[in-house]
């Protein structure tokens, strides 16, 4: 999961080129052309950017587990827009799989991901899927792809979601992509049950005002701060390792066999910390609500919000505290 050696200049240049493409906001709604020039690009990507995405998947999948997402040991898992295959890798680690299918418009990426997932999971069958228009996986994974699709890609994905039994999407926690994910959730509510992170099946309250977007922060591995290779990479690339914003959605096609009780309200974003209190935003079925956790009334939660805010996922309604 981590590049053990100090990165070569060539790797850093490859990663820099990819980051510039991903972060370019002037592109608007236009799709990116295929940017994988060969396996070396994928290897450089896998050693840094995909590792960070893997930490987001770990956070999202850990929440899925807590919300009752069942194991997938006997199931077929498809990673759509797989890149180096990090979503499949992390999913298999947390939930297992009988067979993993890797799909990407880039044949180079499909081959790279197949080999990588097979190598890290001896005994697991992997298959490159060139055309995703006819397959029907048990579990569909989508990671950091929504912002890259053109109309045709969006249609293929939308139909594929409709043919999948369970779906997990993990996307960057920026305004545009997160709102795109919320809009997709809205569209899917008729046919799918939302398993996580939403504490309700009502309309997404983050869509009510243009300035809101649903996102969370994942906790990076401690190695990001203590491993000399990571420290060098972060410095050279100007990556702030403390900030790992993501948005995610886990869904199951209706009817769902066992429904778990919905948790209390989901904490969004990061708390606004004061000396004696923390202001948090909660997602509720009647909108986004601000709650105040005070050091005096709830010292344990206040301390956790200060030290390890990502671990406080849910809180009761303000009037029930």
User: Contact positions toward ligand SAM, by CB under 6 A?
Assistant: 22, 34, 50, 53, 81-84, 86-87, 104-106, 109, 143-145, 148-149, 153
In angstroms, give the least distance from the CB of 203 to ligand SAM. Answer: 28
Alpha-carbon distance 250 to 247, whole Å?
11
Contact 85, 114 (CB under 8 A): yes
Alpha-carbon distance 37 to 35, whole Å?
6
In angstroms, give the least distance from the CB of 205 to ligand SAM. Answer: 27
For ligand SAM, the nearest residue by Cβ is 83
In angstroms, give the least distance from the CB of 87 to ligand SAM. Answer: 5
Residue with Cβ nearer ligand SAM (142 or 278): 142
Residue with Cβ nearer ligand SAM (139 or 315): 139
Residue with Cβ nearer ligand SAM (155 or 243): 155
Q: Is 290 exposed, middle or buried, given 0-12, 13-18 or 19+ CB atoms closer than 10 A?
A: exposed
In angstroms, give the least distance from the CB of 173 to ligand SAM. Answer: 14
Q: Provide the token pair at 192.
A: 């799918």
Residue with Cβ nearer ligand SAM (151 or 319): 151
- Looking up tokens 């040991």, which residue turns up? 73
DSSP designation for 158: H
Burial 125-160 (b: 16+ CB within 10 A, else e): ebebbeebeebebbbbbbbbbbbbbeeebeebbeeb
Residue with Cβ nearer ligand SAM (15 or 305): 15
Contact 205, 185 (CB under 8 A): no
In angstroms, give the least distance from the CB of 143 to ligand SAM. Answer: 3
């Amino acid at each position: 999961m981590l590049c053990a050696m100090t990165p070569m200049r060539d790797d850093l240049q490859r990663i820099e080129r990819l980051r510039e493409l991903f972060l370019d906001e002037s592109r608007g709604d236009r799709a990116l052309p295929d940017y994988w020039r060969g396996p070396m690009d994928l290897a450089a990507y896998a050693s840094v950017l995909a590792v960070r995405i893997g930490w987001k998947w770990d956070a999202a999948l850990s929440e899925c587990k807590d919300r009752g997402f069942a194991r997938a040991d006997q199931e077929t898992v498809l990673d759509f827009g797989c890149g180096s295959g990090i979503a499949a890798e992390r999913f298999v680690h947390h939930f297992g799989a009988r067979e993993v299918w890797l799909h990407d418009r880039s044949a180079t990426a499909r081959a790279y991901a197949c080999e990588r997932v097979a190598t890290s999971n001896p005994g697991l069958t992997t298959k490159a899927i060139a055309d995703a228009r006819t397959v029907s996986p048990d579990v569909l994974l989508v990671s950091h792809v929504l912002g890259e699709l053109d109309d045709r890609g969006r249609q293929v994905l939308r139909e594929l979601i409709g043919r999948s039994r369970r779906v997990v999407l993990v996307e960057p926690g920026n305004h545009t992509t997160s709102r795109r994910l919320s809009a997709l959730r809205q569209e899917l509510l008729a046919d799918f049950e939302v398993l996580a992170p939403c504490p309700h099946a009502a309309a997404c309250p983050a869509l009510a005002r243009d300035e809101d977007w649903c996102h969370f922060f994942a906790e990076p591995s401690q190695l990001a701060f203590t491993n000399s290779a990571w420290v060098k990479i972060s410095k050279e690339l100007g990556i702030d390792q403390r900030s790992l914003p993501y948005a995610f959605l886990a869904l199951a096609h209706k009817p769902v066999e066992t429904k778990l009780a919905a948790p209390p309200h989901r904490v969004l974003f990061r708390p606004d910390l004061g000396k004696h209190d923390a202001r948090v935003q909660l997602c509720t079925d009647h909108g986004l609500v601000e709650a105040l956790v005070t050091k005096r009334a709830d010292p344990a939660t206040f301390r956790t919000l200060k030290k390890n805010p990502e671990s406080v996922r849910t809180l009761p309604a303000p009037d029930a505290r």
